[in-house]
A and B are shown apart, each in its own frame.
Chain A
């Protein structure tokens, strides 16, 4: 155990760097996925059929095993950050898209009718009324996607992606060697810690950004 602690302090800078890279990869993916999901949701949420098709398509992508998806990225985007980022974005879509659609649909129809009745056009209704009211549900989707993506991002190391996956893979490959187990343990620990941290941040963010009248 003291060995492990020693390892941690010895590799501190390296681990910190990997963790930050990991977090950065996740955040980029989530930000992109959120923009894409909200755009898709806004286009489809009023049309039952189209929405079902969009959800089914994104859902299908979601079910592709992560390792396979990363592998599929190689011929198109090569190795490194880019394919990792794109694959993670694809994974992150489903929870956010689904929640955004649900959130937009659950806005009280009387609220929409009164907005319409006062002469708010579609865009204005969307921006001023529907998205703010759907926001708590959207951010919950983002939270689920984020926590999930933190885990999957570790696998991005297979295609030379950044983050904590690198140490994990290396350690696993050299298991039995002196610090191999420490490498694996440390990266797992940090992935879990990062997931928990994100979760807490989202909780706080959700509280802070939810309009006062709907808490």
Chain B
């Protein structure tokens, strides 16, 4: 049931929770009950679960803001269950939903908090603060001397992250860091944060109650049931393809396959060959190409092989219409888009297939509904297989590997519609991924 709650040893567990329990005074039941979890180095591990499942309590036990009733906590192999809590916390960045910037201090002083406690010299602190502001996309010249109230919510959250990273701790603990922020800014912050993580490679424990955020942000997700019982601890793709039990299935909700489509990119699946002809070609040679092929249509492309029109035999009958205006317009899909985007495009355009293009806009194949469906089937099967045979076989399904392969940019692509099955309207959010003024 709690498969994967401890690692298979392939990656080093930077944080290890061992039989952790917490009972609050005056309560009959454990708020956290016998939780064991390995957090691998350099990964984002998401704790996700319904309200009251103990996510926050778990997170706060890792930095010992809450002392466990029993069990042990290891950090970098060292038992930190009973070391000095304040010193321990200086080794872990901590970001909360309400951020908690110190309102009476400038942004610069806020960020300098931990370095100051660690006794860094002024010059080093100054340099570091500037570096961090740059890192989170805020101009030090503009913002260093400002006060928290002079920033937008999104900017405050960035400063919160910068402050947590100040002394370069190996660990970052984040409790619903983006929950209080409007959806568009949230998507932007998520993307920026993933981008940042490709640079900083911290070990991150990230609490959310939002499964979509979990899928988007997580290298691994721990789905917590009541009292922090681990219902499943796995990669997003495995959880989507093979939920361990009914609770997980419920939690993922309907449309698990749809969500999963965000994990795979058009470039990762097998594209169909399709007959193409230059849009300037003779009508007869197009007709001949159509006859040679087993497909019902031909794709007309321009000189740079950019898709122009879909034409079938009937279109070719109308001799009076020039080829460039025959048939149907050919919408295109970038190779970097996700299967989710592709499906969305097909449903919107009411065509069962769509042309895929590379960075230059040149045609590189066709993706159709069957390809998407087959990809879903394949993902499910592979994930199930790996999931059942977890003993010695490779831990991650092939597709999950592909997902991991491209690091930031792969997941960057999954931003589109990462949250809403509304797909289209998320483009704006992702496209606006720059900085906010």
CA distance A183 to B207 in the complex (A): 73
CA distance A107 to B88 in the complex (A): 24
Which residues on the A side are within 8 Å of B283 (C-beta)? none
Chain A 84-127: CB-based contact to B (< 8 A → 1; otherwise 0): 00000000000000000000000010111111111111001000
A2 to chain B, nearest CB (A): 54
Which residues on the A side are within 8 Å of B378 (C-beta)? none
Q: Judging by beta carbons under 8 Å apart, are A129 and B94 in contact?
A: no
Chain B 64-99: CB-based contact to A (< 8 A → 1; otherwise 0): 010000000000000000000111111000101011
Q: Is B272 an interface residue (CB 8 A)?
A: no
B168 to chain A, nearest CB (A): 14
Which partner residue on chain B sits nearest A132 by CB separation? B104
Chain A 116-153: CB-based contact to B (< 8 A → 1; otherwise 0): 11111100100001001100000000000000000000
Q: Which of B96, B117, B147 contacts A120 (CB 8 A)?
A: B117
Q: Judging by beta carbons under 8 Å apart, are A111 and B102 in contact?
A: yes
Q: Judging by beta carbons under 8 Å apart, are A117 and B149 in contact?
A: no
Which residues on the A side are within 8 Å of B65 (C-beta)? 113, 116-117
Which partner residue on chain A sits nearest B88 by CB separation? A119
Q: Judging by beta carbons under 8 Å apart, are B90 and A110 in contact?
A: no
Q: Is A65 an interface residue (CB 8 A)?
A: no
Q: Which of B88, B98, B99, B103 has the most CB of A within 10 A?
A: B103
Which residues on the B side are within 8 Å of A111 (C-beta)? 100-103
CA distance A87 to B113 in the complex (A): 43
Chain B 356-378: CB-based contact to A (< 8 A → 1; otherwise 0): 00000000000000000000000
Q: Judging by beta carbons under 8 Å apart, are B89 and A118 in contact?
A: yes
Q: Judging by beta carbons under 8 Å apart, are A114 and B114 in contact?
A: no
A90 to chain B, nearest CB (A): 32
Stretch of A33-41, A72-80, A186-194, A207-215 lying at the B interface: A207-215
Chain B 98-139: CB-based contact to A (< 8 A → 1; otherwise 0): 111111111000000110010000000000000000000000
B334 to chain A, nearest CB (A): 41
Q: Judging by beta carbons under 8 Å apart, are A113 and B100 in contact?
A: yes
Known: A212-B147, A213-B147, A213-B149. A119 touches B117 (CB 8 A): yes
B332 to chain A, nearest CB (A): 47
Which residues on the A side are within 8 Å of B90 (C-beta)? 118-119
CA distance A214 to B150 in the complex (A): 11
Which residues on the B side are within 8 Å of A211 (C-beta)? 103-105
Q: Judging by beta carbons under 8 Å apart, are B103 and A133 in contact?
A: yes
Q: Judging by beta carbons under 8 Å apart, are B117 and A114 in contact?
A: no
Which residues on the A side are within 8 Å of B103 (C-beta)? 108, 111, 133, 211, 213-214
CA distance A103 to B282 in the complex (A): 85
Q: Is B57 an interface residue (CB 8 A)?
A: no
Q: Judging by beta carbons under 8 Å apart, are A213 and B96 in contact?
A: no
CA distance A191 to B9 in the complex (A): 80
Q: Judging by beta carbons under 8 Å apart, are B106 and A114 in contact?
A: no
Query: B interface, how many residues as a size bin?
Result: 20 to 34
CA distance A212 to B104 in the complex (A): 6
Q: Judging by beta carbons under 8 Å apart, are B99 and A110 in contact?
A: yes
Which residues on the A side are within 8 Å of B102 (C-beta)? 111, 114-115, 129, 213
Q: Judging by beta carbons under 8 Å apart, are A118 and B94 in contact?
A: yes
Q: Is B148 an interface residue (CB 8 A)?
A: yes
Q: Which of B85, B100, B113 has the most CB of A within 10 A?
A: B100
Q: Is B264 an interface residue (CB 8 A)?
A: no
Q: Judging by beta carbons under 8 Å apart, are A114 and B101 in contact?
A: yes
Q: Judging by beta carbons under 8 Å apart, are A214 and B104 in contact?
A: yes
A138 to chain B, nearest CB (A): 14
Which residues on the B side are within 8 Å of A133 (C-beta)? 103-104
B82 to chain A, nearest CB (A): 16
Known: A117-B94, A119-B86, A121-B86. A108 touches B117 (CB 8 A): no
B56 to chain A, nearest CB (A): 10
Which residues on the A side are within 8 Å of B228 (C-beta)? none
Q: Judging by beta carbons under 8 Å apart, are A118 and B104 in contact?
A: no
Q: Judging by beta carbons under 8 Å apart, are B105 and A118 in contact?
A: no
Q: Judging by beta carbons under 8 Å apart, are B96 and A118 in contact?
A: no
CA distance A117 to B94 in the complex (A): 6
Q: Judging by beta carbons under 8 Å apart, are A213 and B148 in contact?
A: yes
Q: Is B338 an interface residue (CB 8 A)?
A: no
Which residues on the B side are within 8 Å of A114 (C-beta)? 94, 96, 99-102, 160
CA distance A56 to B87 in the complex (A): 38
Which partner residue on chain A sits nearest B60 by CB separation? A117
A129 to chain B, nearest CB (A): 6
Q: Is B53 an interface residue (CB 8 A)?
A: no
Which residues on the A side are within 8 Å of B173 (C-beta)? 117
Which partner residue on chain A sits nearest B97 by CB separation? A110
Q: Judging by beta carbons under 8 Å apart, are A117 and B104 in contact?
A: no
Q: Judging by beta carbons under 8 Å apart, are B89 and A117 in contact?
A: yes
Which residues on the B side are within 8 Å of A112 (C-beta)? 100
B344 to chain A, nearest CB (A): 39
Q: Which of A108, A212, A213 contacts B100 (CB 8 A)?
A: A108
Q: Which of A111, A117, A133 has the most CB of B within 10 A?
A: A117
Which residues on the A side are within 8 Å of B89 (C-beta)? 116-119
Q: Is B63 an interface residue (CB 8 A)?
A: yes
Q: Judging by beta carbons under 8 Å apart, are B105 and A213 in contact?
A: yes
Which residues on the A side are within 8 Å of B100 (C-beta)? 108, 110-115, 117
CA distance A129 to B148 in the complex (A): 14
A1-41 interface (Cβ within 8 A of B): none
CA distance A113 to B176 in the complex (A): 14
A-B residue pairs in contact (CB < 8 Å), sample of 30: A108-B98, A108-B103, A110-B100, A111-B101, A111-B103, A112-B100, A113-B100, A114-B101, A114-B102, A115-B100, A115-B113, A116-B65, A118-B90, A118-B94, A118-B113, A118-B117, A118-B163, A119-B88, A119-B90, A119-B114, A120-B86, A120-B117, A133-B104, A211-B104, A212-B104, A212-B147, A213-B104, A213-B147, A213-B149, A214-B104
Which 5 A-B residue pairs are closest in the complex by CB-CB distance?
A114-B100, A117-B94, A213-B147, A211-B104, A110-B98
Chain A interface residues (CB < 8 Å from chain B): 108, 110-121, 124, 129, 132-133, 211-214
